[in-house]
Structure 1
Amino acid sequence: MKKKFFTGVLATAVIGSFLVQPALTDAAPSKKVNLADEMVNSLRLKTIHKLETYKQKKTSSFSQKTVRAMTAVTQVTVANTLKPSNFHSYKMQVTKGGTLNVTEPASDDYGYVVVNEETGNEYFSGDTLTAGTYHFVVFSMSDAPVSYSLSVSGVTMEMDTQLPTLNVTSPKNIDHRLPKNTTALTLSGSATNASNTFYALDGSDDILFNSTSFNKQITVSTGYHGVDLGATTATGNMVVQSHTVTAPGLKRIAGADRYAVSANVSKEAFPYGADTIVLARGDLYTDALAGGPLAALNFAPMLLTTTNALPAPITAEIKRLQPSRAIILGGTGSVSTAVENTLRNMGMTVERIAGADRFVVSANIASRIKADGFETDTAIIASGLNYPDALSASSPAGQIPLPILEVSTNSIPASIETYIKANGIKNFIIVGGPSTVSDTVKNKLQSFGGVVDRISGANRFEVGVNIANYFYDEQYGLMDPSNIVFATGLDFPDAISGSPMAASIYSPMLLTYRDKLDPMVKSYLEKTVPSITKRDVFYLIGNTTTVNATVESYLKSLID
């Protein structure tokens, strides 16, 4: 199976039609919401974010000084062949600004972005560049080698067009799987026309090899890892190849309480920090329920807090993450001004998304997702009066991403209807049966003129399974059932904290009883999608008081 994870530097492709699979219920809809445009936009945003993150963390590579003189010119053509999961970076010293002009890529198999070395801002053709240091980055969106030729003009610049040649011999595959119970990973290869070679694990700072030929063994933990191997020239040009490395097994993420669990999930998902955090009240689900897609879009953990003070594990985790921005979900009655002030005193800018009730908060979160640059005509509809269905939907909602709009059982709140009409939302995916979101609501949604699908089930556990099947896409790895995040279905905190992590690894979020799996979940795991030949990693969020050792032991037995 092809996997597409964004744990490395380069966001690989999710291009083409997004064809969802039928649900397991007899009432599978005859029409399907088409999410192709959303997936392409998601790829662009994730790619740019990863390149910006790379710039911020890899200053040793991106800030190399030019050691030989180059002639300032007004037009440069860069041409080369990209391997899958590669990007090429050309250092670009702009001596006289102007309007950037770049020839359009000849195909959708690759893209480009211009990154300012100092600010991390991104630019495209038609934007104005001032004098300064930039990097012209070309990235692959194909599973096969792709040739490119791009002309850059409109400014006076110094740019070397020669790239190093990087040959990676281990890991052998872009998606590399270690044998079960193995944590040793060999990194080997060589580079020509390079001044140095390096690697980075899970977004860490570059670690230089001693020479342009390298052979080094590192240790990774159970789970998924982004491993980047790169080479740079003396002028600061760079080639990077990204790999997803899987160390099969089961990993439980526990803690003394829901706040410690939340902090530990963040450590697992963001080992080298995050620029943004999303913070919500931990003893009520109402504000956090719709926040998973926002956190995923901003590559942010979902951290839980008490109303009047940050819990000690959350404070420690925020200090480790070193974010520059915090987004609080809910009004001051949920997360107090004292917590807000604490965040500011820790050096963050703070934004609050509040509202008169949970439905207004849900609509305002959706507006914030749009403000972050994600346009969509589709939304997930979930009950705002109960949590399980929205939690199961939070992973695919974050992967694409789609807003989660909360409704009452028999009506669409005025704030939600206003948002739908004002933002051109016409396609809807209802999660949950008629007892949680009635056919009256479904009929009202159909009046907006698009497609309305419903994903239901006999109980919350079966709804989760049917969501996993509905969004599964084998070609692009969306909702990849070879890796799954599990959390209790009888309470909300662990699943809320886990939703951004599940989205980041394209995992379903499946709910479970404390001491057993629901028969539909067990059937899904034992039969699953026929093309899945191996189960790689299961994450179990929470303590044995919420999901006990019997469930853990059974899940371990399913890892190949």
Structure 2
Amino acid sequence: MTSMLTPPAVASCAVERIGGADRYEVSAAVSSRTFATARLVFVAGGESFPDALCASAVAGAQNAPVLLVARSTLPDSVAAELRRLAPVTVVVVGGPEAVDATVEAALAPFAHRVTRVGGADRYEVAARLSALAFPSSPPVAVVVSGEVFADALGGSAAAGALGGPVLLVPTDRVPDTVVAELARLRPSRLVVLGGPAAIAEPVVDTLRTIVGDTTRLDGADRFVVSAATSAHAFPRGARTVFIASGSTFPDALSGPAAAIHDRAPVLLVTADAVPAVSRAELARLRPERIVVLGGSHTVSDKVMRDLLDRPGGGTIGG
């Protein structure tokens, strides 16, 4: 089995953490470390994952960051990052239940134009984001569960690498808004992430009737799916790899946009360990830099040390 093999030696690799006092500060820190400036910024609610992770695929395609806000508050750390970025346009992602009108008004001084991409639900928001950024006939579209954040983390980064959007479906059906967007997109192929517990087989069958070339990447758990997604999207390795918690989403929500900017996959870990499948994928990728998303409460210092101590580990950065 792969986990029984000794990974090949790799060149020395720097390991760094992007943390902060909360998810909003982390999002600002991810942006500031990745984007010198940005004419376009996406702003999403930090209290649920779907809008931010679908926005990441769009933001990455347009060299833009994703910043997080509370439903009714623009955090000071995010305001400071908007001031530094000085965007021309800010796109608010999601309806007023995710980011309300108070925040939308508070964003106005930071850009010439503030617009919103909303919808009746997360599935419609994802479809409208796709329509906003991707012309017809992209090489791929990535489909993930709208109910399981872990597959969407790696899926957003993979979609950016493969040149297509992320679309969401529930476990048991394909929403009409997704059917319509796939009909408009006409992607060359679909990649579905997650096993039948996340996206039922009849849903994949339905997707296959819309886009004939449809591949499912699944596995025993979210860590296996994450590694398989990385291997599919980055077959030749990657200079940078982002590491995120597989059990809690907030600190990682802004990571995929930065990962797309750096042409990097996102791999998952537990709070206190690097799963064997993630370790093996790191050995295959042979990165020169590993970026851990979130503070030690999300991904522990032990994991940082484990990443450093793996074959090819190098220096820890702050």
Does the TM-score normalized on the shorter chain lie above 0.5?
A: yes
Q: Distance in 2 between matches of 1:334 and 1:363?
A: 17
Query: Which runs of 5 or more residues in structure 1 are unaligned?
Result: 1-23, 25-178, 181-247, 475-479
* Structure 1 residues 125-524: aligned runs within 5 Å: 248-270=13-35, 272-370=36-134, 375-376=137-138, 378-425=140-187, 427-474=189-236, 480-524=237-281
Offset, 1:377: 5.5
Aligned AA (1:524): E
Residues 277 and 325 in structure 1, CA contact (< 8 A), matched pair in contact too: yes
Q: CA offsets per residue over residues 518-544 of structure 1, 9 Å max, x none?
A: 221123334x25xx4xx4111011100
Counterpart contact for 1:296–1:399, Cα < 8 Å: no
1:555 pairs with one of 304, 307, 311 = 307
The offset of 1:393, in angstroms, is: 1.1
For each residue in 1:435-485, what CA deviation from the matched residue of structure 2 results, as whole angstroms up to 9, or x when unmatched?
1111101111121252010111111111000011112232xxxxx344211
User: Displacement, 1:374?
Assistant: 6.9
Higher strand proportion, which one?
1
Indicate conservation of the 8 Å contact 1:377/1:424, yes or no: no
Deviations 1:380-417 (CA, angstroms, capped at 9, x unpaired)? 11101111111111112123331111111121011111
- SS for the counterpart of 2:235 is coil
Distance of aligned partners of 1:424 and 1:500 in 2 relative to their CA distance in 1, 3 Å threshold: same
Partner of 1:114: none
Deviations, residues 348-373 of structure 1 (Å, cap 9, x unaligned): 30111100011110110110112xx5
In 1, the alpha carbon distance for the partners of 2:97 and 2:190 equals 31
Which shifted more, 272-281 or 443-452? 443-452
Note the C-alpha offset of 1:299. Answer: 0.9
Shift in Å, 1:424: 2.4
**C-alpha distance in structure 2 between counterparts of 1:378 and 1:320, whole Å:** 34
Change (3 A) 1:426 1:299: closer
C-alpha RMSD over aligned residues: 1.8
Which among 280, 296, 301 is matched to residue 544 of structure 1?
296
Paired with 1:457 and 1:449, the residues of 2 have a C-alpha distance of 23
Name the residue aligned to 2:8. Answer: none
Quote how far apart the aligned CAs of 1:419 are. 1.5
> Retained in 2: the 8 A contact 1:427–1:452?
yes
User: Match of 1:318, as an amino acid?
Assistant: L
Give the partner amino acid of 1:311: P
* CA pair 525-419 structure 1, distance change in 2 beyond 3 A: closer
Given the two structures, how large is their TM-score scaled by the length of structure 2? Answer: 0.90
Residue type of the alignment partner of 2:304: E
Conserved? CA contact 1:420–1:426, under 8 Å: no
Q: Describe the shift of the 1:502–1:417 C-alpha distance in structure 2 as closer, same or farther (beyond 3 A).
A: same
Percent identical across equivalent pairs?
Answer: 30
Q: Secondary structure at the match of 1:502?
A: helix
Give the counterpart letter for 2:56 in structure 1: G
State the secondary structure of the residue aligned to 2:302: helix
Q: CA deviation at 1:492?
A: 1.4
Counterpart code for 2:275: D
TM-score normalized by structure 1?
0.52
Deviation (angstroms), 1:375: 4.4
Deviations for 1:13-52, whole angstroms, at most 9, x for unmatched residues?
xxxxxxxxxxx9xxxxxxxxxxxxxxxxxxxxxxxxxxxx
Kept in 1, the 8 Å contact 2:187–2:211? The answer is: no
Q: Quote the Cα distance in structure 2 between the aligned partners of 1:500 and 1:542.
A: 15
Q: 2: distance between equivalents of 1:378 and 1:525?
A: 24
Partner Cα separation in structure 2 for residue 412 and residue 449 of structure 1:
13
Q: Separation in 2 of the partners of 1:395 and 1:443?
A: 25
Structure 2 gap segments, 5+ residues each: 3-10
- On the 8 A contact 1:515/1:550 being kept in 2, the answer is yes
Deviations, residues 115-168 of structure 1 (Å, cap 9, x unaligned): xxxxxxxxxxxxxxxxxxxxxxxxxxxxxxxxxxxxxxxxxxxxxxxxxxxxxx
Computing the radius of gyration from Cα coordinates, the structure with the larger value is 1
CA pair 275-383 structure 1, distance change in 2 beyond 3 A: same
For residue 436 of structure 1, what is the amino acid of its counterpart? A
Measure the CA separation in 2 of the matches of 1:358 and 1:296: 19
Is 2:144–2:166's contact at 8 Å kept on the other side of the alignment?
A: yes
SS in 1 for 2:50: coil
